[in-house]
Amino acid sequence: MSRVTNKPASRKRRRKILKLAKGYFGVRKSRFREANQAVMKAGMNAYIDRRRKKRDFRRLWISRISAACKLTGVSYSKFIFGLSKAGIQINRKMLAEIAVKDFEGFEKIINVVKSAV
């Protein structure tokens, strides 16, 4: 009885991994075993960093809002508390964008927050 190797599927699977490893350094782009390990590791890092990106952007927005608040003499925590007291529902991404591009508008928001607290 002849041995069944399932060669077409095996070759396709290996080619897919080597295609994903294109551009890697050294044997990681040409040998299947090393390429497979490199692609698996890259996939894990990509999965982790997709979640980390959300944290990093939130930290960036908070630091931008905090810097703009300090210019007007209000701390970040008091500003956020004042926003909730005033009933202003605007996310940190938009607040950071306003603080960077339209500081006069941000100062108006600060004045509303100061009057609410």
Ranges of H-type helices in the chain: 7-20, 32-72, 76-86, 92-101, 103-116
Per-residue pLDDT of the chain (117 residues; tens, 9 = 90+): 788 888 999 999 999 999 999 999 999 999 999 999 999 999 999 999 999 999 999 999 999 999 999 999 999 999 999 999 999 999 999 999 999 999 999 999 999 999 987
Query: What integer pLDDT is reported at residue 27 of this predicted model?
Result: 95
Residues 6+ apart with CB under 8 A from 16: none
Q: Let me know if 69 is exposed, middle or buried by CB neighbors in 10 A (0-12, 13-18, 19+).
A: buried
Query: Domains of the chain: which residue ranges?
Result: 7-116
Q: Are 92 and 64 in contact, with CB atoms under 8 Å apart?
A: no
Query: What integer pLDDT is reported at residue 62 of this predicted model?
Result: 97
Whether this prediction's pTM lies above 0.85 is answered by no
Say yes or no: domain 7-116 is CATH 1.10.3720.10: no
